[in-house]
Chain A
Amino acid sequence: MKLTIKVDPDLCIGAASCVTIDPATFLLNEENKVYVLDHGEAPGGQVYERVIEMTEDEKETLILSAQSCPTLAIFIYDEAGEQIYPDM
């Protein structure tokens, strides 16, 4: 499945719990904000939003990492554009 992952840099405080849980998807930049990776790679540079092809297991890890964010700065959307995290 394809998921859109977005980090709001205004909310991100660099707590980095997402990096600990899902290092293949998140990494800190020099501004202490988290940016989004595609399976450990950053094609096109350090961006706050990506569409990524994921397995069910990878999705579960991604959701866990988003749930661990203390500022709820990670947003996940499905292929139809529906927000699946945080719950609306």
Chain B
Amino acid sequence: MAKQFVIIGGGIAGTTAADQIRKIDADASITIIDEEFHPLYSRILLVHYLEEKVPRERVFMKKLEWYTKNNIELMSGVIAKAIDTKNKFVTTSDDRELPYDELLITTGGELRMIEDDRRGIAYFRSMDDADYILKLVNELRAQPKKDWHGLIYGGGFIAIEFIKIFDHYNIPMTIMMRGDGFWSRVLSDHSKKVLADHAKAGGVTIINGVKEFDFIGEGDFEGVVVDGKEIKGQMLGVGIGMQSKAAFVREAGIEMDQGIVANSFLETSTDNVYTAGDIAQYEDVSAGRSMVAGNWMKAVMQGRVVAQTMTGTRTEFELVSSYSTHLMGKEIVFIGDTDRSAADKVVQHVAEAGDSVELFERDGRTVGALFIGSVKERQAITNAIKKSEIYAR
């Protein structure tokens, strides 16, 4: 009888796994349960779409025909409600009970949200979010140009994406950060300064230390009140991080901590249940510790590796992953393990006016690095991390 594979989450990790499983096992039954109503698309490309670099249809990485051709059932707009790990089936929001032999959970992180949900507040995770942002941007641009103003709350990757969008449409902007700079708990003071100087030179107004704020008015978004001062604007982009709640996973008795706990083979605490992508808290071989890391490269590679293990060839996941973006043309690259609290030492390797390179060291070796500006040592440092060496400074 054909083996039954169920995958909860139709993003890049889950879809890559489905693709690999099909290549390995032509007869397997493969079902993807996905809360979204779209086939696979690239979350990374969404900002390119909003910056008008690519048309909307180019964001999609799979067409619906791909699923049919590969005999993969895609259940769109469906949520997994419960997992019975003893009798091995998943109950879905449309009341189906899907039996599985092997189950993969790749639901990704969930957005942290602010309490208020008035019109004009935007998040940025999905295709639907991107469409909504474009709508708000167009409404903003229909106003007299002198009134244009975009607001951003947060200081990480998503805040940077909102800066790109506003910058593309020449919308003046103010960014309110909870901490004392971009990635306040990750970056050194020098790195923060390089980024803040660059953003300010590009016309961005930055307000640090905004733990809370009020809204102007009761209706649609008109602006905020920070420390008694009104800042008017037509929209607010919020990017204050991700979390992994996945209540149905916890309720099923599958071990969770910061994410779904897995070993270096991406096997969870429960037999025949695996995880990959942003929701996985896995034993990272190159970092030498258990960690959650949300980035595209890792999600792709974990999808490929976990498919091997799920089809009977137990394969350990090992990768020095990286994430790249830019702030108004200033390159930003994170490589490997850049958790400051988990490092024995963080070395400020380069500290030039427009450049910063930091090296994260633990147990006598380099485990991570981050670059602001110049990336010329990227390959050499990545190689040192891969070889478990200390990067020769």
Contact = CB atoms under 8 A, between A and B. Distances in A.
Given A28-B375, A70-B44, A72-B42, A14 B319 contact: no
B374 A30 contact: yes
Contact of B45 (A28, A70, A87): A70
Given A32-B375, A70-B44, A13 B325 contact: yes
Contacts of A15: 44, 296-297, 322-324
Interface in B171-218: none
B53 interface: yes
A4 B226 CA distance: 55
A70 B12 CA distance: 9
Interface in B342-381: 374-376, 378-379
B44 A13 contact: yes
Interface string B24-64: 00000000000000000011110010000110001001010
A13 B300 CA distance: 16
Given A32-B378, A71-B45, A16 B324 contact: yes
Contacts of A67: 61
A27 B301 CA distance: 18
A26 to B, nearest CB: 12
Contacts, number: 64
A87 B48 CA distance: 19
Nearest to B326: A13
A87 B57 CA distance: 12
B254 interface: no
Nearest to A17: B297
A11 interface: yes
B333 interface: yes
A22 B374 CA distance: 24
Contacts of B326: 13
* Contact-residue bracket for chain A: 20 to 34
A11 B375 contact: no
Given A32-B375, A70-B296, A71-B44, A16 B322 contact: yes
B319 A87 contact: no
B331 interface: yes
A20 interface: yes
B106 to A, nearest CB: 16
Contacts of A87: 63
A71 B331 contact: no
A68 interface: yes
Contacts of A17: 296-297, 300-301
B48 A28 contact: no
B333 A20 contact: no
Interface in A38-82: 67-68, 70-72
Interface in B50-88: 53-54, 58, 61, 63
A10 B54 CA distance: 10
B61 A72 contact: yes
A20 B301 contact: yes
Contact of B331 (A14, A20, A68, A72): A14
A11 B54 contact: yes
Nearest to A18: B297
A8 to B, nearest CB: 9
- For the complex of A and B, 4 pairs with smallest distance between CB atoms: A70-B44, A14-B324, A17-B297, A70-B296
